[in-house]
Each structure stands twice: as C-alpha cells, then as structure tokens.
Copies of this chain bind each other. A is one copy, B any other.
Amino acid sequence: MKRIALEGKVLGENDRIAAELRQAFLEHGILCLNFISSPGSGKTSLLERTLEGFAAGARVALLTGDIQTDNDARRLARFGFPVRQITTAGACHLDARMVERHLREWDLAKLDLLLIENVGNLVCPTSYDLGEAAKIVVLSVTEGEDKPLKYPGIFRKAELMILNKTDLLPYVPFDVQTARENARGINPRIEILELSCQTGAGLDGWRRWLQGRMETARQRVPA
C-alpha cells in the first residue's frame, strides 16, 4: 500500500511538470511527439527517415532516451538538427523532469517540432506523461500481431500506431489485418500507418500525418 501511495505521488509530480511542458509547447506552437516501442522496433530509424524529409533550417529538435550509450544521439545528430541524449542510468522510462531539464538550454521560440524517443520498453514509459501532444507506438512486424492484446496500456494511450518493417512481411508469420483488429479492439480510435524504414514504403503517409499535426499545433497558439 505504501508503495502504491508513493508511486501515486511520483506520478502526480510528473503530471504537474508535464502540464507545464504542455502549456509551454502550446504557447510556442510546438508539436511534441513521444515515441514508444519495444527495443529494436525501429524508432531511431524512423526518426532518421523523418529528419531526412526536412530541409536544412527546419525548426526541428530531438531528445532521445536510453539507459546507456549515446549511440542514438550520434546517429541522429548527422542530420544537422539539435539533438540531446537523455541517459537514464538504469531507469526504464523517461519522465517529465528529465525532459524539462534537457530542454532548458534550448529556446522554444525557435522550434516547431520536438520528437522524443523514449527508452525501448513497451510497458513503463506508458505511465509517464512528458507533455507531448500525442504518444506514437511503433510496432515492428517481427514482434507478432498479438502485442496490442498483451501490452494494452500503450495501445490504449497512443493516437497512432506505426507498423514498421513491412519489408519483412514475406519472411515472418505476421498477419497485418489481425494486428490492426487487435489494436482497434483495444483503442477504436487509434490511427494506423504501415511503413518500412528500409525501403521507404509508406513514409509519404507518415510525413503527411506529421505535417497535418504540425499545422494544427501552429493554429492552436493562443492569440
């Protein structure tokens, strides 16, 4: 019981900071997205392909979380946009405090899009609001179509499921239709995009989704 009360307190404090972050993003017209997936589902590859689609000078920045190593930050920095690594030193998720601390040195007035790559974990990051406009769950077709049923929390909270690695469909036992039905069974409103970061198939649809959401964020800035 004590543990649950304490967990509640930790989450309450997290929600307070996340609400402040969300307000700051709103005021600056920044679209903030929180990418959550299993390790190895292709979050970093998706972000690489996403950055490729922006012209130099686009007002995009990234925070990338990992327990150890700054591999992802180095991969992502090649594209010339601001990137900061959040090394959690053991923690299995990002929290709002970590995001707030790593944003301090950046001028939010210079950003339109903030992409946050969470720690590879389909469970724990789900509970921690980072002030994002939307959570995006990335599922790769190698993981099995039952994952929405087995890890319902993130599929319930995500606005978008990206079904990644569709180039491997010929080689793995994965039924796309069943995966879609499983996700929609958990969250009838979830949007679903299929793509392959290896071949580039489906990336256009993803970029359109992103541009649409960025436009919405711009329009919502208080006068």
Contacts and interface: CB of A to CB of B under 8 A. Distances in A.
How many copies of the polypeptide does the oligomer hold?
2
A151 B147 CA distance: 21
A149 B40 contact: no
Contact of A149 (B38, B69, B147, B165): B69
A101 interface: no
Interface residues of A, number: 38
Q: Which residue, A90, A122, A147, has most C-beta atoms of chain B within 10 A?
A: A122
A65 to B, nearest CB: 10
A153 interface: yes
Contacts of A66: 150
Contacts of A142: 40, 140, 142, 165, 168
A119 interface: yes
B147 A40 contact: yes
A124 interface: yes
A26 to B, nearest CB: 30
Contact of A6 (B2, B38, B71): B2
B3 A10 contact: yes
Interface string A135-177: 0000010111011011111000000000001011001110000
A147 B27 CA distance: 38
A39 interface: yes
A145 B124 CA distance: 23
A67 B147 CA distance: 11
Given A3-B6, A142-B165, 13 more contacts: A2-B6, A38-B120, A38-B143, A40-B144, A67-B123, A67-B152, A68-B149, A69-B146, A69-B149, A121-B124, A124-B124, A168-B168, A168-B171
6 contacts: A2-B6, A66-B150, A69-B146, A119-B123, A123-B124, A142-B168
